[in-house]
Structure 1
Amino acid sequence: MKLYIKNMVCSRCKMVVKSVFENIGIIPISVELGEVEVKNDIAEHQKKELIKQLRSIGFDLIDDKKSKVIDKIKTLIIDLVQNKSNNLKTNLSDYLSQELHQDYTTLSNLFSEVESTTIEKYFINQKIEKVKELIIYDELSLSEIAYSLNYSSVSHLSNQFKKTTGFSPTYFKNLKSIKRKQIEDL
């Protein structure tokens, strides 16, 4: 049985969610971003406790089909930006269609209807937040950041950054008071 969990975006999330399941006596077979597989059905009292504990730490159980698809799209995009950006050998629409086994137009329409933004804008916002993170860490040059996030050039990254944030990357680097947004707040 697979359960879908909203707001799982990193390996720490997987550890925390696994621990919640184990604390209420459910041993997961596998825990991946956005989903947990368990061997048996979950009793109603366990499900209520699971929902309560997940919500207390910023997660939630997803029940309806639309929400599962939306969450899967978000999880794939976040994973792509955080872990595999430069490995994407196809465009985003083909990648999502292949991973979710659905037509991109269907996915795009559903996402826009539910989230009130496009998949592309969501993807760009995720990339810009990653750029902010890398700028703040100050370990990579802007050129290295552009390459690692699969931008065609530094000017493309700079233009998109300025369009999204209102600041140039250099100006942002000099601002210490600007806080990054948490992934789930995007």
Structure 2
Amino acid sequence: MKKNLSSAQRPARFWPVLGFATLAGMRSLSAPAFLSHYLVRQPVAGLAGSPLRFLRKPATATALKVLAASEMVADKLPNMPDRIAPPVLLGRLLTGALVGAAWYKSRHGCALTGGLLGGVVAVGATFISYALRTGISARSGVPVALVGVGEDALVLAGGAALLSGPRPVPGQWRPL
């Protein structure tokens, strides 16, 4: 007989993916940076043997943090393409899929399900955050780059909230 997921296990997979994927839609590299930081400090057995286990490595977390900080700076440059431009949108879709797959897999779920959810949410968050950023700028007269600083603050606060979220079940702890 197949064991059903308890109602407590499903949200522990679903809602954090929505959060991480939303971050991917706003700042593509912040989502994997926050997730990798979390996985280094809260290792889980679900990624053991998985190709996604690279996210548990301290060097990966450090590199992703540097890249995420660089993205926040580069985002303010006038020559940067819009986040809804196809190549940029593809990057956000892929990082959303990555964090979704890794989170689901870390919770002994289906990486494909998590990847699909993360990718779809990241694309939606990309268009919503783009509309909000440009709309706020147009209505208030505040430069788009300055609105982007506020968006950065929101991404950092959201990432910090996700890091303080669900902890692995004690039986799932696995040292690096």
TM-score, normalised relative to structure 2: 0.30
Give the structure with the higher percent helix: 2
Bigger RCO (CA 8 Å, 6+ sep): 2
Q: Going by fraction, where is strand more abundant, 1 or 2?
A: 1
Structure showing greater radius of gyration is 1
TM-score (norm 1): 0.28
